[in-house]
Chain A
Amino acid sequence: MTPVLICCGAGGVGKTTSAAGLAIAQAQAGSRVVLLTIDPARRLADALGVRVGSEPCAVTLPAGLEAKGTLHALMLDPKETFDRVVGRWAPTPEARDRIYRNHVYQHVSANLAGAQEYMAMERLYELFRDGRWDCIVLDTPPTRHALDFLAAPDRMANLMDEGVMRWLVLPASRGGWRMIERGSEVLAGVLERMVGNSTIADIAEFFGAFQALWDGFRERSIEVSALLGAPSTRFYLVTTAAPAARAEARLFVEQLRSHQQPLAGFLVNRCLVPAGSPGAPEFAPRADLPEWDAAVGAVGQLYEQHLAKVALQEANIAELAAGTTAPVWRIPDLGEAVHDLDGITALSHYLRAAVA
C-alpha cells in the first residue's frame, strides 16, 4: 500500500513547513512524492509553487539536493473538491446541477465546519487511487484537537446512515416535509418552528438531491478509514517545545491509540540549540571603550536567558514524550529563512532520519 505520512498538530506550530520538509526528505531518498497542503500561508504556497484548486504540480527541487525522486504539491480547495466529487459521482447532469443550485449545498460546501476535514479525506482518497505516487504526505487542517479530521469519515458515514436518510429523504421525495409516523410529525413541527419553513424545504431538498450519492460517500469513507488505519500510514505530531504542547501531545497519543495507530514520532519545531561551550561568557576587559561594561552585561544576560529557555525546552520535550516510545526529532529554529524552498530544504535535512 502507498505509504501515507500525516502531519498533525495545532495551528501555528509549523505544520505545513514540516510536512513539506518530510516530503522533500522522501523525494531526496528516491520516492515520487505528492504533498497535499491545507490552507498554507500564501508565502509558503508561493515557495512551493502551488495554487488553490490546482492539480499536483511539480516542485523544482534545489540541484544541490541531488534528489533521486520527485516532488509534486497541491493545495486543498474544499469547495472545488466538493464540487468535483459531486460532479464525478452524480448519476446524471441534472442531479448534479440540482445539487450545485441548492441553497444549503452552497453553504455546506463552502462553510461547513468539518467540510475542510472531510474534503481533505476525499482528496487523499483521489491521490491514493491515482497510482502515480510512491508516497503521499498530508498536512492536516488546523484543528484544536490534532486528530479531529480522523473522525471526518465517521461523521460523514453517520450522516449517511440509512435510518437518518430514510427519515429525512422520504418526506422530501413525497414532495413535502411530511412525516410518515406521528412521532416524526412532532419532530418536524418543532424543527419548523425553530428554523422556519423555507430552510426545512432547502435542507430536505439537499438531502434528497444527495440521495444518489450516499452509497459512494459511505463506501469511500470506509476505504479512507481503512487507509488511515493501515500499517503503511504513519502519524507525526508536529509541535513546539512550548508548555501548552504537553497536554495536546497527551491527547493526541490517546486519540491515536483509540484508532489503533502508533505514533511515528514527534517533530519538534523551532528548537533552540543548547550552548556548546562550558562555563560563562568572559571578555578580557577594555574599560577604556564607552559602554563596554553595558555591552558585556547585556551579552551575558542574553546568554543566561538562552540557557534558561533551553532548560525549559528540554524539560518540556521530556514531558512531551513521557509514556511513549515514539522518537523525537528536533528541528532547530531556522528563523525567517524557512519560508522559501531553500529554507524548507535545509529543514528537510533534520527529517531524513524521520522518514527512514
Chain B
Amino acid sequence: MPSTPAIAVTDLVVDRGKRPVLKSVSTAISAGTVTGLLGPSGSGKTTFIRSVVGTQKTKGGTVTVLGEPAGSKPLRGRVAYVTQDASIYRDLSVKANVAYFAALYGRGRAEAMRAIERVGMGDHADKLAGNLSGGQKTRTSLACALVIGPEVLVLDEPTVGLDPVIREELWDRFRELAAGGATLLVSSHVMDEADRCDRLLLLREGRFIADDTPADLRAATGTANLEAAFLHLIRELEGAN
C-alpha cells in the first residue's frame, strides 16, 4: 500500500434533489498520479469532481484531500479546479483572466504569461475571452488553474473540442505535472485518453464499476482495448442482475 493517498473518498453519497447521483462510492488516489474518471454523461462524473473540490453538498461519507476535508480553507491554495464549461470572465482579455487568478495566489504577470504560453494561447493573450472559440476558452480556463502550480489539479472534461495536437500537448503537460509530484483527476468520456492515465475509475449509474490500472483492466477482461474492457464489465454486471 502506498502512503496516505492524496485524495481519499469513503462511502460518498450524493443526492441532487430526490435523485441519488452517487450511491456510496469509495476510492483512494495516490499522489503524483493521473487518474481518469470515465463514464457516460449523466453518470455522476461532475458531481464526483465537485465533491472532491468541496463545492458539492454531500449526503454521506467523507472526502479527504491532502489529509484535509475537501473544500476546507487550508486546501484553497493547493487545489485547482477546472470546470467543464470554461469559468472565465468573457469581458476580460485572456491575459487579464489568467493574471487575476494568478494574483489571487500571489503570483505575478510573468507567471501568468508562462501559463498562457503553456496552453498555446500566447498569440491570443490580448483577445477578449468572449470572442474566443470554445477550445480557446477551455485552454484559457486551464491556464487559470495551471498558473497556481497546484498540488492537486481536478479537471472536468478538459479536452472536449480541442485540436488533436493541443490535446496531445495538454496530456504531455498533465504527465509532466504528475511527474513533478502533483495529483491529477481528469474526467473524460473519450476512451482513447484513458490509456494515458495511471489509474481509471469507471463510473456508471452512480457507482464505480472499475478502479484499476489500464493494463490490469485489459488483462482482467481479456480484451485488447479499454473500450472493449468497459463493455465487457458492463455486460458482466448486467448479466449478474
- Do A and B originate from a single complex? no
